[in-house]
Amino acid sequence: MSLDSIISDTIYLAKPATFNDPLDSQPIVENDLPVAALCALYRMLLRQRMWAEPRAPSSLLHAGALGSMASVGDFEKEVSRKVRGLLDYANYNRDVGETSEHSHIKALEQAIQQELLIREDRGVFSLTFCSVSILMWSHYGNQHQGVALGYSIPDTFPEDCRFKLVPMDYGGSRLLSTSIIQKMLSGDINAKNKVDQTAYQAKAEAWKYENEWRILGPAGEQGSPLELEEIVFGHRCPDHVRYAICTVLKTRSRKIEFSEITMPPHGFELIKVPFDPGQLETVFPRRGLDRYDDFSGV
């Protein structure tokens, strides 16, 4: 989070491809459909993506214009050509002893998985329940020099259909069946939730300490659907950073609580205590030449 996002009350939803965990939000497609149905599923995904491309008949380009397909018939032929090309290539490169059907299934599984990744344009905003985790402050808090933002969920949140709040499933499966994808494309809301759960909520057991929840929504910077309630300063957060944040938020329409992390007298458990911004006002803003003014009469 940047100072700009704190002042403007925005959140940034990152694309999963930028995550530090390469297994995060990378579902594995596993087939449980007949080959004909699997092929039809791939054709449907391919059609949907190609129909949205500038060359497709759905665009505003005039039929026959440079770079556009002349007709819907040409579009369907192009879709069929791509499907046949995939299957022919898989058949040509199949392993010794492998059946043509098995090579087709493997190729279609991989192609469907790739289509799902291409079409997904949502991002992720990560949250945690714990503000005193020493691991979280060390890994994500700039080695305790940063700040943590505390949010509440307003009653209006469910009304904003662009966003979805979900918990993580540590140790959950990354396998996504083709039958579930098929149901999702037909409009089944339960299947859509199952796809989201597999694609965005499954994470390795080793990350359980994060106690993470996620907001799924349009990728990039968005107006925050949450209510900012608290700023928590890390133990090593510089005073000038604390002063700047406290000062710019002083006139905010809804007041914010300020807290800081302190080191425990014994053991390793961090402690969160209230922070009084007034204690910095005796030090900042500072003028270096004041010391000369103090001795001007000498």
| Tens digit of each residue's pLDDT (9 = 90 or more) over 74-109 | 888 889 999 999 999 998 888 888 899 999 999 999
Choose one of 103, 119, 135: the last residue of a domain. 119
What is the pLDDT, as a whole number, of residue 156?
84
Pairing mode of beta strands 122-128, 212-218: antiparallel
Q: For residues 14, 18, 20 and 21, what is the CA-based torsion angle, rounded to 10 degrees?
A: 90
Kindly state whether residue 194 falls inside one of the protein's structural domains. no
Instruction: Tell me, yes or no, whether 18 and 75 share the same domain.
Output: no
* Per-residue three-class SS string for the chain: CCHHHHHHCEEEEECHHHCCCCCCCCCEEECCCCHHHHHHHHHHHHHHHHHCCCCCCCCCCCCCCCCCCCCHHHHHHHHHHHHHHHHHHHHHCCCCCCCHHHHHHHHHHHHHHHHHHHHCCEEEEEEECCCCCHHHHHHHCCCCCCEEEEEECCCCHHHCCCCEEEECEECCCCEEEHHHHHHHHCCCHHHHHHHHHHHHHEECHHHHHHCEEEEEEECEEEECCCEEEEEEECCCCCHHHHHHHHHHCCCCCCCCEEEEEECCCCCCCCEEEECCHHHHCCCCCCCCCHHHHHCCCC
Instruction: Tell me, yes or no, whether 251 and 105 share the same domain.
Output: no
Instruction: Tell me, yes or no, whether 115 and 217 share the same domain.
Output: no
Kindly state whether residue 183 falls inside one of the protein's structural domains. no
Instruction: Tell me, yes or no, whether 7 and 102 share the same domain.
Output: no
Instruction: Tell me, yes or no, whether 73 and 98 share the same domain.
Output: yes
Q: Round to whole Å and give the CA distance between 92 and 263.
A: 64
Instruction: Tell me, yes or no, whether 108 and 152 share the same domain.
Output: no
Instruction: Tell me, yes or no, whether 108 and 215 share the same domain.
Output: no
Give the residue numbers spanning the domain of 72.
28-119
Query: Which of the residues in the chain have pLDDT under 50?
Result: 60-67
Instruction: Tell me, yes or no, whether 133 and 248 share the same domain.
Output: yes
Kindly state whether residue 222 falls inside one of the protein's structural domains. yes
Kindly state whether residue 209 falls inside one of the protein's structural domains. yes
Residues whose CB is less than 8 angstroms from the CB of residue 135 and which lie 6 or more positions away in sequence, other chains included: 209
Kindly state whether residue 16 falls inside one of the protein's structural domains. yes
User: 107, 29 in Cβ contact below 8 A?
Assistant: no
pLDDT digits (tens, 9 = 90+) for 108-130: 999 999 999 888 889 999 999 89
Instruction: Tell me, yes or no, whether 91 and 226 share the same domain.
Output: no
Kindly state whether residue 288 falls inside one of the protein's structural domains. no
Structural domains in the chain (count): 2
Choose one of 119, 141, 158: the last residue of a domain. 119
